[in-house]
Structure 1
Amino acid sequence: MATKKNVVSMKQDVPAQLEVLRADVANLAEAIKLQAKATVAEKKSTIKDVTAEKTELVKDRYSELSTKAETSIQENPLTSIAVAVGAGIVLGALLRR
Structure 2
Amino acid sequence: MPKAFPLEFRRDVVAVARKGEASLRQIAKDFGISEACLHRWLKLADVEDGVRPGATSSESAELRELRRRNKILEQENEILRRAAAYFAKEISPK
What's the TM-score, normalizing by structure 2? Answer: 0.43
Larger radius of gyration: 1
More helix by share: 1
Greater relative contact order structure (CA < 8 Å, 6+ sep): 2
What's the TM-score, normalizing by structure 1? Answer: 0.42
